[in-house]
Amino acid sequence: MMSGIKRRFQPWTVLFLTAMWILLMGQLTWGNLLAGLGIALIVVLGLPLPAMPLEGITINWGAIVRLVFHWWVNLFHASIQVAWLALRPHAPPPTAIVRAPMRVQSDAILALAAMMYNLQPGGAITDIDIANRMLTIHLLDARNIPRELARVEKLEQSLIRSFERV
């Protein structure tokens, strides 16, 4: 029993949750600090997260820096495109739902790809088929589907270079 508690106890998570509690309450007091600490311990020990599957993941820092840079550039570009679609005087463009294959090996990297794509305006992942490594994506602007699929493939290749052995 004691080894299970030691395995589940994560001090950085407790500190993070305590800080979030204090921010939520709006002021730093001894009561808020102790309440946040107590709630954080209950969450960490009583509701443990499953182990993250990290087998096969390697870190390539140079590729990660390039990935983050290109993601920010794409975020800026997509934000301008969506703003233009909202403000222009024409009718809205056609939308589409497409499926994009993903060749990443790790479930964690597949989830990261979905998160990174969903955070950018203009498209949203509506389904993740883990067994077939397929993303179902709703596109706000379906006038150029091959370009959007190429963007997903570029994200996938960047993630593979950043986190998988190639």
Are 125 and 136 spatial neighbours (Cβ–Cβ below 8 Å)? yes
Residue 109 maps to a domain? yes
Flag whether pLDDT at 57 surpasses 80.
yes
What DSSP state is assigned to residue 52?
P
- Farthest-apart Cα atoms in the chain, separation: 65
Q: Which pLDDT score is estimated for 54?
A: 73
Same domain, 28 and 69: no
Q: Is 122 left (phi over 0), alpha (psi -120 to 50) or beta?
A: left
Q: Which pLDDT score is estimated for 112?
A: 92
Residue 51 maps to a domain? no
Q: Which domain holds residue 105?
A: 61-163
Phi then psi dihedrals of residue 6, to 5 deg: -65, -40
Residue 53 maps to a domain? no
Region 34-56 average pLDDT:
85
pLDDT in tens, 2-24: 566 666 778 898 999 999 999 99
Q: Which pLDDT score is estimated for 49?
A: 74
Region 155-164 average pLDDT:
93
CA distances from 9 to 12, 32, 103, 106, 141 (A): 9, 21, 34, 25, 46
Are 74 and 124 spatial neighbours (Cβ–Cβ below 8 Å)? no
pLDDT in tens, 94-133: 999 999 999 998 888 999 999 999 999 888 999 999 999 9
pLDDT in tens, 63-83: 999 999 999 999 999 999 999
Q: Which pLDDT score is estimated for 50?
A: 75
Q: Which pLDDT score is estimated for 3?
A: 60
Same domain, 144 and 81: yes
Residue 52 maps to a domain? no
Cα(113)–Cα(125) distance, integer angstroms: 10
Residue 135 maps to a domain? yes
Q: Which pLDDT score is estimated for 158?
A: 95
Region 37-63 average pLDDT:
85
The answer to whether the Cα torsion of 9, 21, 120, 71 is positive or negative is negative
